[in-house]
Amino acid sequence: MTQVRNAWVAANGVELHVAEAGPDDGPLVILLHGFPEHWRAWREYFAPLAQAGFHVVAPDQRGYGASDKPAGVKSYDLDILAADVIGLADHFGAQRFIVVGHDWGASVGWWLATVAPERVERLVVMNAPHPAVWREAMRDHPQQRRQSGYVRFFSLPWLPEAVLGAGRYKALASAFDQAARPAAFPAEEIGHYRAAWSRPGALTGILYWYRALLRKRFAPSRTLSVTPPVLVIWGEKDPFGIKDLADASLALCADGRALFIEQATHWVQHDEPELCRAAVLDFLHQPVQLPS
């Protein structure tokens, strides 16, 4: 049985709780969860990656779980979130590292591969477009604008916290009901998430991510490039993001490929864990395709 170890790491001015597994001298794989999860989003991924020889590290990102929850929207700018991950890699002595991210974790991964490509060896993103593509689509694409209505709601003061916290976090927990696999989120796991959401400052911390995104200025996405190899895994029944955004994000990549899963939802890594794990491991072992 693969042992998962817990630790707290000082990185970029905050203390981050991390779960890790695998050999300390293996290639570093950083698993980045999305909203509204924490490190346990990857509970089914530690063993396969560790057994393949990778050093697996899954943090509670700032604002989440047992990690610090600094006050203020500015503390959740994408540049700061990316610097947290670089701080983790520095702590573990890795000049280059692999990122696997879902939802917001994938957004951070995209941004890392854009602003610090020399640090990112490979990137796997699950159901999240490049953040610059996302922002443009929220403004310009009618369907995505409708599907991103919750982002505008999350930008309001205090009301989102009240709504998300009501009824023992009923609204947050009900988001998992959209998963395609009935056993994707067992009651025990929902209990872990409720405990994380109940920590002081947690609801505001996880909402700061959205509030900071709406304040950030991006260059036009067409001017951006992503040079590390990228694998996009996308559940096509995502109610929050349209497939066009995956295609637009892949267009930024020098070496990009995609796995579209027709019956999977936004929770693709939970809907199809075996398929996703196999795709990730295959991608991590493939040779790099150099531009012609």
Question: Is the pLDDT assigned to residue 288 strictly greater than 70?
Answer: no
Work out the pLDDT band at 286, boundaries 50, 70, 90: confident
Residue 203 lies in a domain: yes
Q: Would you state the pLDDT for residue 278? A: 98
Give a yes or no: residue 22 inside a domain: yes
Count of structural domains, the chain? 1
pLDDT digits (tens, 9 = 90+) for 221-240: 999 999 999 999 999 999 99
Identify the CATH number of the domain in which residue 42 sits: 3.40.50.1820
Per-chain mean pLDDT for the chain = 96
Bridge partners for 14 per DSSP: 11
- Check pLDDT > 60 for residue 219: yes
Quick one: tokens of 229?
């190899």
Does a structural domain hold residue 235? yes
Q: Tell me, yes or no, if the pTM score tops 0.95.
A: yes
**Residue 26, in any domain of the structure:** yes
Please report, as a single letter, which amino acid is at residue 120.
V
Q: Which residues are catalytic?
A: 103, 210, 266
- The answer to whether position 292 is within a domain reads no
Average pLDDT over residues 252-263: 97
What one-character-per-residue DSSP string does 90-145 give?
HHTT-SSEEEEEETHHHHHHHHHHHH-TTTEEEEEEES---HHHHHHHHHH-HHHH
Specify if 114 maps to a domain: yes
Q: By residue range, what is the domain housing residue 161?
A: 5-284
User: Could you tell me if residue 289 is inside a domain?
Assistant: no
In a domain, 290, yes or no: no
Give percent of the chain above pLDDT 70. 98
